[in-house]
A and B are shown apart, each in its own frame.
Chain A
Amino acid sequence: MSAICAIAWRETRGYFATPVGWLCLGSFVALTGLFFAMSTSEFAAMAVQVASNPFATNQVNLTEWLIHPFFGNTAVILLMLCPALTMRLFAEDRRNGAIELLLASPISSGQIVLGKYLGALGFVFAMLCTTLPLTGMLYWLGNPDTGVLLSCYLATFLLAGSFMAVGMLASAFTTSQVVALVASFGLLLALWVLSWANVIAGPGLGDFLSAVSMLSHVNQLNKGLLHLSDVVYFLSFMGLFVFATTQRVEAYRWR
C-alpha cells in the first residue's frame, strides 16, 4: 500500500513540477470560469425576461439553467484536457528509462498502475476543487439543490476517472506522448458520441450503443438522478481500463 501511495504522491506532485500540469490546470480554471460566467449572465437575462410572467418563473431554476450547462461544459473541457494529463504516465517513463526503476522494484504491475492512476486522479480532484468557489457562489445567488450539485460533482469525477483510465492505457502502449494524446482523445471522442449512433443503428444495436456510451450515463447523473447502474458503469469502465493497463505493463517484462 505504501508503494502505491508513494507512486501516487510522486505522480500528483509531478504534475505541479511540469508545464503541462500547470497549463492544464490554468486552462481548466479559465474555461470553467468563462463558461460559468456565460451561464450566469444567460440565467440573469432569462430571469429578467420571465420576471413579469408568473407561469414561466417556475420553469427557470438554477439546476436547469446553470448547474446542468456548467457541468456539461466541464465534462467537455475534461474530455479535451484529460488526454494531455495522461499522455506522460507511461510514455515518458518508458522513453527516459525511468520505468526500469519501477519494474526492478519489489512491487507488482498492478501496484505500479494503481499508483500512477490514483496520482493522476489526485490531480484531477485538485482541478475539480478549483470549481468549488464557482458553485459556492450559487448559494450566494440563490438556493441551488445541494443533492443535484453533489450528484453532478460525483458524475464529473467518475467521468474524469474514466477519461484518465482510457488515457493511461493509451500511454502504456507507446513511448510517444503525442501518439498517446491523439489515440486517447480519438478513443474518448468515439466513446462519448457512441449514443448518437443509435439514430443510424437499429433499435437493438442502438440501445446497446446508448448503454455503452458515456454520454447517456453522465446525463442521468447530471440530472441529479443517482442510479446505481450509472455508478457501476463508470466504476466498471475504470476497472476494465486499469486492468488492461496492468496487463500491458506486465507485458513489458516479456518484450
Chain B
Amino acid sequence: MISVTGLGKRYGVIRAIEDVNFTVNRGEVVGLLGPNGAGKTTTMRILAGCLGATAGKAQVEGLDVTAHPKEVKRRIGYLPESPPLYKSMIVWDYVAFAAAIKGVKDIHGATERALSQVGLLEDVGDRPAAERIIGNLSKGFQQRVGLAQALVHDPDVLVLDEPTSGLDPAQRKEIRVLLQRLAHESRRTIILSTHVLADVEDICSRVVVLDKGTVVAEDSITSLRRQGGRVRLVVAQPSSAAAEALRAVAGVRALERHEDGAYTLTVSQECRADLAAAAVPFGLLELGHQAESLEEIFLKMTGGEE
C-alpha cells in the first residue's frame, strides 16, 4: 500500500509538487497521469527513496520513506524513466548485481526468477537474452532488463516511471502485456506513470491526475468517464425555449443545435435524468450518451483544452 499525504518538493524557488495526496491500495494498479513537468517523476523518485521531499510524507506498506529508507527500498521495485542499466554488462550479471545490492540471499535463484518473469530466458537469435550484453539488445529488451532489476528482490510495490516510453508500438504492446501479467498474477501494488493513455486503460484500475504539481483528479477510469461526456438528445418540437430549458440543467457546459432537431450537449457530470425531465415537455424522442475518451478527460483536467 502507498499513502502520500501533503507531499511537496521544491528545487530552490521552483515548486515541483505541492500538497500531493493519494492512496494506492494493496494489489491495486494505479496510473499517474499528467503533462510533462506535472511532477510525476518527482513523486515517483520520492516514493523510491531517490529524492527527499521538502514537505509532507510518503508511506509504503505503512513505513515512512524518509524515516525508514532501507526498509522501504526492500519493499519497492523502481524502474526510472530511463532504465538504470550498465550497458557493457551481460544481462544475467547485471540482474545478479542488482540482487546483491538489494540484499537478496539466493542471488542465483532470484536472478533466474526475475529474468523468467520478464521473458529474458528466451532465446534471442542463437542464445538466451540473459547471456547477451545489455547494450546490444533492442530498447524493448533493455526495458525488460530494467523491469527485471525492479523485480529481482520480489518487492510488494512496483513504481514504474513511463515503462513504455520511447518504445515502438509492438514493443509497447509487449511491455503492456507483461505489466498486465505482473499485476494480475502477483497481486502487487503497482503505480505507473505514462503519457500513453491506452496503457492506462489497459492496465490501471484507477488514475491520479497531476497538473502543475498538484493532484487534479483521483478516481477510477469508469467513474471519470461517467462524470462527463456528450449527450445527444432529439425532441419533437425544437425551439429556443427547449434549448434554454436544457441549458439550465446543472452540469451542462455547452449546447449545440442541429438542423434535424437534435441537440448535442457537453456535460461535466452525470445529468441524464434531469435532461430527460427537461426535454419531456418538448416531446423527447431520443437520448443517448457518448462517453469522453480518456484523452479528452485528460486534456480537460490538465487545462490542455479550453
Query: A: which residues have CB within 8 A of B?
Result: 2-3, 5-7, 10, 14, 17-18, 96-108, 252-255
In chain B between 41 and 76, which residues have their CB closer than 8 angstroms to a CB of chain A? 45, 48-52, 69-71, 73-74, 76
Q: Are A254's CB and B80's CB within 8 A? A: no
Shortest CB distance B222–A (Å): 33
Q: Would you list the 6 A-B pairs with minimal beta carbon distance, nearest first?
A: A6-B100, A101-B84, A106-B73, A106-B70, A97-B82, A104-B78
CB < 8 Å: which of A3, A99, A253 contacts B100?
A: A3
Q: Are A10's CB and B86's CB within 8 A? A: yes
CB < 8 Å: which of B49, B71, B86, B103 contacts A103?
A: B49
Distance, CA A142 to CA B3, complexed state (A): 74
Q: Are B103's CB and A3's CB within 8 A? A: yes
Q: Are A102's CB and B101's CB within 8 A? A: yes
Q: Are B83's CB and A107's CB within 8 A? A: no
Shortest CB distance A15–B (Å): 10
> Nearest residue in A to B46 (C-beta to C-beta)?
A253
> Nearest residue in B to A251 (C-beta to C-beta)?
B52
Known contacts A2-B100, A3-B103, A107-B101, A253 near B51 by CB under 8 Å: yes
For chains A and B in complex, what number of residue pairs have CB atoms within 8 angstroms? Answer: 76
Chain B residues contacting A252 (CB-CB under 8 Å) are 50
Q: Are B101's CB and A3's CB within 8 A? A: yes
Shortest CB distance B281–A (Å): 63
Of A7, A14, A97, A106, the most chain B CB neighbours within 10 A belong to A106
Distance, CA A108 to CA B89, complexed state (A): 23
Is B87 interfacial (CB-CB < 8 Å)? yes
Q: Are B97's CB and A6's CB within 8 A? A: yes
Given contacts A5-B100, A105-B101, A254-B51, 8 further A-B contacts (CB under 8 A): A6-B97, A14-B86, A96-B82, A98-B86, A101-B84, A101-B101, A103-B48, A106-B73
Shortest CB distance A175–B (Å): 13
Q: Are A100's CB and B78's CB within 8 A? A: yes
Distance, CA A152 to CA B80, complexed state (A): 47
Q: Are A96's CB and B85's CB within 8 A? A: yes
Distance, CA A138 to CA B82, complexed state (A): 53
> Nearest residue in A to B78 (C-beta to C-beta)?
A104
Q: Are A6's CB and B101's CB within 8 A? A: yes
Query: B: which residues have CB within 8 A of A?
Result: 11, 45, 48-52, 69-71, 73-74, 76, 78, 80, 82-89, 97-98, 100-103, 149
Of A101, A102, A252, the most chain B CB neighbours within 10 A belong to A101
A and B contact pairs by CB, cutoff 8 A, 19 listed: A3-B100, A3-B101, A6-B101, A14-B89, A17-B88, A18-B88, A97-B80, A98-B86, A104-B76, A104-B80, A104-B84, A105-B102, A106-B69, A107-B101, A252-B50, A253-B50, A253-B51, A253-B52, A255-B11
Shortest CB distance B61–A (Å): 14
Q: Are B78's CB and A97's CB within 8 A? A: no
Q: Are B50's CB and A103's CB within 8 A? A: yes
CB < 8 Å: which of B78, B89, B100, B103 contacts A17?
A: B89
Chain A residues contacting B50 (CB-CB under 8 Å) are 100, 103-104, 252-253
CB < 8 Å: which of B45, B78, B87 contacts A96?
A: B87
Chain B residues contacting A17 (CB-CB under 8 Å) are 88-89
Of B50, B51, B71, B89, the most chain A CB neighbours within 10 A belong to B50
> Nearest residue in B to A111 (C-beta to C-beta)?
B101
Distance, CA A45 to CA B110, complexed state (A): 63
Shortest CB distance A111–B (Å): 8
Chain B residues contacting A96 (CB-CB under 8 Å) are 82, 84-85, 87
Chain A residues contacting B52 (CB-CB under 8 Å) are 253-254
Q: Are B88's CB and A101's CB within 8 A? A: no
Q: Are B49's CB and A104's CB within 8 A? A: yes
Distance, CA A98 to CA B146, complexed state (A): 10
Q: Are B51's CB and A106's CB within 8 A? A: no
> Nearest residue in A to B11 (C-beta to C-beta)?
A255
Q: Are B84's CB and A97's CB within 8 A? A: yes
Distance, CA A105 to CA B49, complexed state (A): 8
Distance, CA A106 to CA B99, complexed state (A): 11
Q: Are A7's CB and B101's CB within 8 A? A: yes
Known contacts A2-B100, A3-B103, A104-B50, A98 near B73 by CB under 8 Å: no
> Nearest residue in B to A98 (C-beta to C-beta)?
B84
> Nearest residue in B to A254 (C-beta to C-beta)?
B52
Shortest CB distance A253–B (Å): 5
Shortest CB distance A60–B (Å): 49
Q: Are A104's CB and B86's CB within 8 A? A: no
Of A5, A14, A105, A254, the most chain B CB neighbours within 10 A belong to A105
CB < 8 Å: which of A10, A14, A100, A253 contacts B80?
A: A100
